[in-house]
Structure 1
Amino acid sequence: MSSRKKHQFAADQPTDLGMDDGAATLSLLISRLDLFIAEWESQESPPSLAEFLPIEGKVRHVALVELIKVDLEFRWRIFNFPKRLPDYLSEFPELENPETLGELLREEILARRAAGFRVTVDEYVEQFPELEYEIRHACDLGLEESKSRLQQNKVLKRIDEIQPGLMLDEFELLSELGKGAFGKVFLARQESMQRLVALKVTAAQGDEPKTLAQLDHEQIVRVYDQRLVVGTEFRLMYMQYLPGGTLHEVIDELRSHPEEDWSGKLLLAALTRALESRGESLETDASTIRFFQRARWPEIVCWIGIRLANGLHYAHERGILHRDIKPANVLLSRLGSPKLADFNISYNSQDQGTSAAAFFGGSLAYMSPEQLEAFHPGCDRTPQDLDERSDLYSLGVLLWELLRAERPFPCDRLTSNLPETLVTMIKARRQGLDPEQRESAEQECPPGLVRVLVRCLAPNEDDRWQSGQQLADQLDYCLDGDLQALLHPPQTSREAFWKRFPVMAVVLFAAVPNLLAGLFNLMYNRQTIVLELGTARTDVFDRLQLIINAIAYPLGLGALGHLAWTCTRYLKTDSPGDCPPHLRQRSLRLGRYAALIGVIEWIIAGIAYPVIMEVITGDLPWQASLHFWGSLVLCGLIAAAYPFFAITCLSLRTQYPFLLGDELAPPEDRPLLESLRKRSWLYLTLAVAVPLLAILVVVSMPTNSRFALLGISGASLVGLFPLIHCFQRLQSDLATFLRLHQRASDQQAG
C-alpha cells in the first residue's frame, strides 16, 4: 500500500464565460496542477495522476490533458521516469480523439527532445499515421520554442509567495493591487523618487515593458522603467499608479443596481468607493464631475469608449496590437479617465526580434472570431494574420458589456474540450448578434450607439470600423443629440414615413404650393382680366389654361421627380453610403431645383398666355398682357419659397444623412452646406417681401382686383408662420452638420 496521501476532490461543473471568464473552472485546474507539482517535488517519483482528476464532470478532460503535460515535464526533463503516450492512452481511453492526441504528441516530442533523446518523424507516424501533419510540425519546432512550463510555474510560485511589507530592490511593497496569470501587481513606494507606483512582478520574459515604453498616450498606462532583481528570475516593471479601480469593478457595480439607477452618478460612486478603499480622494475637476452627475449611462459608455478607441488608435499607428482588451485591463484614474493596461500579449509588428505567436493569447470571451481561430490548433489562421480590427472587436465586446451589463454572447461556456469550446465560440461570433438581442438593445438604448457597437462586432473584419479613430469619431457623434435625431429618427416619426417614399415626398411638397398658387391665379386672371375682354377671349383663355397646365405641371414635376430618384434610389439599397458624392449633393439641391423649375415655368407661362391669345384673338391690349405676366410672376415668386424650405428640410432629415455613409463630414460637402445656410435667408426674404410688395401695389389697382391681391397676400403672410418654423429647423440642421465639419477641420489641424 502506498504511503502517499490520497487526495479527494469534489466534482466540478463547467463554468460560464459569460460573467467570470470560467474563473471557478480555472481555479480548480490550477489547484490540481499545484498539488500535482508539489507531489512530484516532494516524492521525486511518479505520483498517481488519476488521484488528482475530478471524479466526474466535463472539466475532467481539461484537467487530464494539463496534468499529463506536467507529468511529461517531470518524467522526461527533470527525472528519469519515461512514459509514452500509448501508456497514457491505455490508462485513459477518453484521450482517444485527434485534437487531444495531436496536442499531447507535441508535448511528448518537445519533452523528449529537451531531455536529449533523438526524436524522428517516422517512429511517430508509424504509430499515429492519421496525425502525420501534427507530428511533422512538432518535430520541426526548435528547442528555443519549447521552454519548460515547469520552470515558468516555479517562478510564478515564488512570485505568489511575495507579500506586502517586503522590499524588492528599492521598492517597498505596500499592498497587493491584483494578481493574474503572469504575476502580481503591488502598490509600492519607490525610495529614490519618493513616489507611489504600481509595481508589476513577473517572470523575466516577454516584451511587455519594451512594448509599453514605446507608448506615451493619455489613455495608456505610463510605464516608467523596468529592472531585473539580481539573483532571481523576477522582473520589476514600475508604472503610473491609478487608484480608481478597473472597469471590471464598475460593471460589477452596475449588476448590483437596477437599470433605472444606471447613470454617471453610479460611475462617480464606484470611482469614489475605489479611491476611498485605497486611501485616495476624488480629483477635483468641476467640468468632468458635472458631466458625470448629469450624464445618462449611454453617454458614459461613449465617453469611455472614445478614450479607449483613441488610445488603441495611437498604439495601432505604431504597429502595436493589444490582444487582451477586457474590463480588468482598463484602469481608471482619480477622475475616472480610462487607461489601457496589461499589454502582456501585445505584438509589435515593427519589432524584428519577435513573432506574433510568442505573444498570442487573451481572454476567450473578448476575442474576435479570427483571434479565436488563430488560437484553435485546427485552424489555418495564424497570429500574424490579425490586425487592429481584432482589437476593435474586443473593444466592442467590452463596451457592449459596459452598456448592457452582459456580454453580446452570454452563452459562452468553458467545457472540458477546449477545441470544442473554441469551435462553438467561433460559430457564435461568425453568425453575429442575435436579431432579437439587437432589437431589445435598440429599444432600451440609443439606437445610434447600438449600431456603432454592432458594427464593431461584425463577423467579417471588412465590415467593422477600420481604425480606432473611426470608432472614436462615431462614438463622439453619439454624444451629439441633434445629430442623433437626424441620423436615427423614431420609426413612428414623420421623417421615417417620408423616408420610405422619398420621390413622392419631393413631388408632393413641390406640387401643393404651386397648385394652390395656380388655382388662385386662374381665378384671379379670369375675374380681373379675361371677363373684361369678352366671351370669345374667355373661351380661348379657358382652353389655353388647360393646355398650358397639362404641359407645365407634368413636365416640371416629372423633371423634379427624376432628379430626386437619381439620388434617393440609393436609400433602397443595403449600402446607401455608396451613393456618389455628386448625387448626394444633389439631394441637398432638390429644394433649389424645385424653386427654380417653378419660377421658370411661371415666367414662361406669363409670356405664353398673352402671346398665344394675341395670335388667336388679335389686338390684345398691352395692359392686359402686362397684367397677365405680372400676376403669374408674382404667384411664381410666392410659390417658390415653400418648395425650397419644405424639400430642403425633407432632404436634410430623410435623405442626406443616410447617403453619407461612415464619413459624416466629407469636406467636399461643406461649401454646399454653407451656401444653403446663406441661401435660406434669401428665400425667407423673398417669401416675406413679395406679399408685402403685392399689398403696396394694391393701392394702384382697380377695386375688383384689390380683394384678390389682398387675399393672396394675406394667405402668404399666414403661410409665413409654418415657413419660419421650417426655416428655423433648416438652420438648426445645417448648423449640426457644419459643426461636424468644423470638428473634423480642428482634428486635422491638431
Structure 2
Amino acid sequence: MTSKLSSRNRSSRTADESTLDMDAILLECLESLAECEDGGTPQRVWELCPESLRQGARSGDQSGRFVLVEMVKMSMAIAVQNESPCWLQDYFDALPDWFDAKSAPFDLVMEEIQLRRESGQTPEFETYQQGYPHLQEFLRPLFSGAEGLDVSVAKTRRRGVPTEFSSGEVVDDFEIIQKLGEGAFAHVYLARQQSMSRLVALKVSWDTGAEPQALAQFDHPNIVRVFDQRRVIIRESKDDDAELHLLYMQYHPGGTLAEVVRVIRELPLHQRSGKCFLQAVDQSLLDSAQVVPDRSSTRAWLASSDWPKLVAWVGMQLAEALQTAHDAGVLHRDVKPANVLLTAEGLPQLADFNVAMSGTAGRAGAASSMGGSVGYMAPEHLNAMSLSREVGPEHVKETADLYSLAVLLWELWQGARPFDCPKVTESWTELLETQHEARHRELLDPERLDTPSERVLENVLRNALSVDPEMRPENGAAMGGSLRLAMHPEAARLFDPKPGSWPHWLGRFSPWWLAIFSILLPNVAAGFINYFYNHSEIMPEEMRPSLDEFAIWVNSVAFPLGVGLIIVYTRASARALKASRNGEPVGEAELNSMLRLGFRAASIGGTCWLVAGVVYPLLLKARFDEFTDGQAVHFFASLMICGGVAMVYPLFALCIVASCVHYPRMIRPTMRDPHFEKHAQKMVGDSESFLLIAAVIPLMGAALIVFGEGQAKEYLLLAIIAGMIGLVGAFAAYRVIVRTWRTLAEVLSNETTATPH
C-alpha cells in the first residue's frame, strides 16, 4: 500500500529526478492509469507515459521500458475487469518502438497467462512456446504448477481506486474534510467521525486485505492505531453496486519520513540537523492547516539534536515497534520512508503493514502495491519475489524487516540508499535481479562526521545489512538497544572504544594476564613486604627461624588454595569473554562470574590474609612463651594492613576492567541485560565497601606508629604514605566505576524510556 496519511502537493519531476527515483515515476503512472476508465487500451498507456520517456523512446532510449512494462500489466488487468480484454499482441502492435514478442520480458508474459486464467480461458503451453521461444525455460513451470502459481479460474477483482469523494460529502459515519493522499488502489482522506466527534484518517479502497486485523491488535506508541473498518455499498452505475472498504485510523499531520528524506537530500551532511527534520514536519502541518506545537520537550530535543543521533532515535523507536509486531506474529514486509508517519511532535509511527504479501511475483498488482519497496527489500525477500528462484515467502522472516529498516535509516542518514544499483531496468524481473546483485556487493562508502554517535550508527546499520540473516541483530529489541547507544556518546565510547584508547588496548589482553597482574602481583608484593617487616620490627632474632618454618607451611597451603580458586573463577570469565568474541550469547551465570571476579579475588585474598593473621600468632605463642600479646596484636595488625592492600588493588583494578571493557563487550550483541540494576548495585556496593577498607589501612598504620613497640617509625611512615596514595587511587577508581555504571544505565537500564524526554 502506497497511500500517505499526510497532505502533500504532488510536485512535477524533471527527467533527471525521475531517473534517480524511478519507483516514484512508476507509482505516478500507475495511479494515473488506475484512475482512467478506459485505461485498458494500448493508446492510453502510451499517452500516460511521461513526455520525457516518450521522447527518449523516439530517439532509441529504452530507459523507460520498465515503467511501460508495469503499465501494460495494469492496463491488461483493467481491460479484463472491464470485460474488453486486450492481450500482449495488441500492445506489441501499438508500441513497436518499445518491444515485441521476441523481446518480451518473462513477467509480462506471465501476467497475461494469469489474467487469461482469471477471465476463464485455458492458455496452452504450446502456444506460448511458439510465440515466445526465448522464454521456454521459464514458461514450462507455469503450466506444470511447479512454481506454486494459482491456476484456478477466479473472478477478477475490482481494480483501481474508487470514485473520489469531495469535501463535505458524507460516507457512512464519516464527513470528508479534505484529501490527504492516494495510492494505486486507495484514497486517503481527513475525515470527521460523526458518532465519536473525532478526526480520523480514512482509507477508502475496494479491498483492505488483512491490514486492519493486523494493526488493530497493537497498542504501541510507534505503530499507527487502527480503530476499525467498515464496508458500505455504493451505486457505481444504474446496474452496478460496489462494496467499499473504509479503514479509519489515527490521523497524523506531520507527513512521512519520505518528505524528510527529500529535504535532507539537498543538504550536505554537516548541515543536516534536527532542525531540518522539524522543518519538514512543520511544512506538512501547515499544508494540513494544523497548529505547530509551541511547547514540546520532544521537539525541543529534536531541534538541538545532531543528525546521527536523530537518525538513531528514529531507528530505535521503529525497531521497538517491529519487535511488538513480530511478537504478535505479524511481519511488516514493506518498511520504507513513505510508510513511516510523523506526529506533530515528530514521533515516528509505522503504518501500512503488508501482511498479505503477494505470492505471485512480478504481477502488476504486486508491483503497484509495493511502490518503491524493492529498493528496501532484504536479499531473501527479493528471492521470494522472483520466480526464477525456488524460494517461497516463508523464508521472509523477522530479520528481513530489520534489513529494510537499516536501508531506511541509511537513506535518512546519507540521503541515499547504501547500494550501487543501475537506475534504470527494462522489466520487473531485471529489476529484481539487479537489486539482488547489489545486495551482495560492498555497501557504498558513506560520508562521515566521525563522531561517537555516528560510529555506532554505522556499525549497527552495517550489521543489520548483512546478506546472511543470521548475522543481523537477533530481533528488533536488540537492534533498538544498539541504536540507543548512538544517542549517548559517552556510552558509545564504552561499547565501541576508539582504536588506541585504553579500553580498546585492555580489551586485547587475555583475562589470564589481567588476573595475574591484578591479583597475584599485589598479593606476592604484600607478602614480601610483610615478611621483611615482621622480621625486622616484631620478631626477636631467636624466633625468626621458626617464623620462616611457619611461613613455608602456611604459604604452601594458602597460596595454592587461593590460586586454585582464582583459576576457577577466571576460567569462567575467560569462557564468557571468548563466547562474546565469537558472537555467541553470554548467559547470566557467566556474566555474573565476570563481574564478580574482582570481589571474589579480593574476598579469597582477604580470607587467606585473615586466616594467616590468626594462625601465625597462635603458632608463635604455642612455641615461644616469651611471645607477648602485644607482639601478637602487632603481628596481626601488620598482616591486616598488607592484606588490605592485597585486597583493595585487585578489586578496583578488576572492577574497572570489568565495567569499562569486558561487560560492554559481552552485552554488545544484544544490548539487553534483564538484571542490569542488580549488577550495577553489586558493583557500586562492592566498590563502596572496599573504599572503606582502603580508608582504614592508613589509620591502622598510624595506630602502629603510636602504639607499636618497634623503633623503625620511618618504615611505618612510608607504609602510611603508600596507603594514602592507595586511598586516593581507590577513590578515583570508585568514581570511575560509579560514573561508568551511570553511563551504562542510559542505554541498559530497564527503567529508561525510549523517548528523549
TM range, smaller chain: 0.7 to 0.9
State the TM-score, normalizing by the size of structure 1.
Answer: 0.78
Deviation, 1:712, is: 0.5
**2-side partners of 1:325 and 1:217: how far apart?**
17
Q: Residue 23 of structure 2 aligns with which residue?
A: 22
**1-side partners of 2:619 and 2:405: how far apart?**
72
**2-side partners of 1:308 and 1:669: how far apart?**
24
Letter in 2 for 1:423: E
Identity across matched positions, percent: 30
| Pairing of 1:154-553 with structure 2 (within 5 A) | 155=161, 159=164, 173-189=176-192, 195-204=198-207, 206-224=209-227, 225-228=229-232, 230-232=234-236, 233=242, 235-343=245-353, 345-347=354-356, 361=370, 363-409=373-419, 411=421, 413-430=423-440, 433=443, 437=446, 445-476=453-484, 478-480=486-488, 483-501=491-509, 502-514=511-523, 516-518=525-527, 520-529=529-538, 533=541
**2-side partners of 1:174 and 1:452: how far apart?**
43
Deviation, 1:331, is: 1.5
2:627 to 613, 617, 622: 622
Q: Structure 2 vs 1, CA of residues 288 and 673 (structure 1 numbering), >3 Å: closer, same or farther?
A: closer
Q: Structure 2 vs 1, CA of residues 33 and 268 (structure 1 numbering), >3 Å: closer, same or farther?
A: closer
Please state if 1:711 is matched with 2:718.
Answer: yes
Q: Which secondary structure does the structure 2 equivalent of 1:320 belong to?
A: coil
Runs of 5+ in structure 1 lacking a partner?
1-10, 45-49, 350-355
Deviation, 1:364, is: 1.0
Conserved? CA contact 2:40–2:75, under 8 Å: no
**1-side partners of 2:504 and 2:300: how far apart?**
35
Deviation, 1:719, is: 2.1
Runs of 5+ in structure 2 lacking a partner?
1-13, 46-52, 237-241, 359-364
| Pairing of 1:26-41 with structure 2 (within 5 A) | 27=28, 40=41
Q: Residue 650 of structure 2 aligns with which residue?
A: 643
Q: Residue 119 of structure 1 aligns with which residue?
A: 123
Range 557-566 or range 77-86, more displaced: 77-86
Q: Considering only aligned residues, what root-mean-square deviation do their CA atoms show, in Å?
A: 4.9
**2-side partners of 1:135 and 1:510: how far apart?**
75
Q: Residue 61 of structure 2 aligns with which residue?
A: 57
Q: Which secondary structure does the structure 1 equivalent of 2:221 belong to?
A: coil
Please state if 1:674 is matched with 2:678.
Answer: no
Letter in 1 for 2:455: P
Deviation, 1:692, is: 0.5
Deviation, 1:716, is: 0.3
Conserved? CA contact 2:599–2:686, under 8 Å: no
Deviation, 1:79, is: 4.8
2:692 to 679, 685, 689: 685
Q: Residue 567 of structure 1 aligns with which residue?
A: 573
Conserved? CA contact 1:186–1:198, under 8 Å: yes
Deviation, 1:703, is: 5.4
Please list the CA deviations of residues 149-192 of structure 1 after superposition, one character each: whole Å capped at 9, or x if unmatched. Answer: xx625x56x55xx6667666675654432232223323345566
Deviation, 1:662, is: 4.1
Range 314-323 or range 496-505, more displaced: 314-323
Deviation, 1:107, is: 3.4
Deviation, 1:87, is: 8.3
Deviation, 1:62, is: 2.7
Range 646-655 or range 262-271, more displaced: 262-271
**1-side partners of 2:264 and 2:78: how far apart?**
46
Conserved? CA contact 1:591–1:648, under 8 Å: yes
Deviation, 1:709, is: 1.6
Q: Which secondary structure does the structure 2 equivalent of 1:176 belong to?
A: strand
Q: Residue 731 of structure 1 aligns with which residue?
A: 738
Q: Residue 3 of structure 1 aligns with which residue?
A: none
Letter in 1 for 2:513: M
Q: Residue 141 of structure 1 aligns with which residue?
A: 150
Q: Which secondary structure does the structure 2 equivalent of 1:692 belong to?
A: helix
Conserved? CA contact 1:499–1:655, under 8 Å: yes
**1-side partners of 2:356 and 2:463: how far apart?**
24
Deviation, 1:309, is: 3.1
- Number of equivalenced pairs: 712
Q: Which of 1 and 2 has higher RCO (CA within 8 Å, sep 6+)?
A: 2
Range 400-409 or range 66-75, more displaced: 66-75
Q: Which secondary structure does the structure 1 equivalent of 2:596 belong to?
A: helix
**2-side partners of 1:360 and 1:679: how far apart?**
59
Q: Structure 2 vs 1, CA of residues 80 and 506 (structure 1 numbering), >3 Å: closer, same or farther?
A: closer
Deviation, 1:300, is: 2.8
Please list the CA deviations of residues 567-614 of structure 1 after superposition, one character each: whole Å capped at 9, or x if unmatched. Answer: 235545642543454333222222123324434554677689899999
Letter in 2 for 1:23: A
Conserved? CA contact 1:265–1:293, under 8 Å: yes
Conserved? CA contact 1:120–1:139, under 8 Å: no
Q: Residue 5 of structure 2 aligns with which residue?
A: none
Q: Residue 106 of structure 1 aligns with which residue?
A: 110
Conserved? CA contact 1:15–1:414, under 8 Å: no
**1-side partners of 2:54 and 2:718: how far apart?**
101
Please list the CA deviations of residues 626-651 of structure 1 after superposition, one character each: whole Å capped at 9, or x if unmatched. Answer: 75554334312233112111111211
Please list the CA deviations of residues 129-157 of structure 1 after superposition, one character each: whole Å capped at 9, or x if unmatched. Answer: 53321233399734555737xx625x56x
Please list the CA deviations of residues 51-76 of structure 1 after superposition, one character each: whole Å capped at 9, or x if unmatched. Answer: 99923224354356446646766998
**2-side partners of 1:264 and 1:670: how far apart?**
32
Deviation, 1:497, is: 0.9
Deviation, 1:687, is: 1.4
Letter in 2 for 1:689: V
Deviation, 1:480, is: 4.9
State the TM-score, normalizing by the size of structure 2.
Answer: 0.78
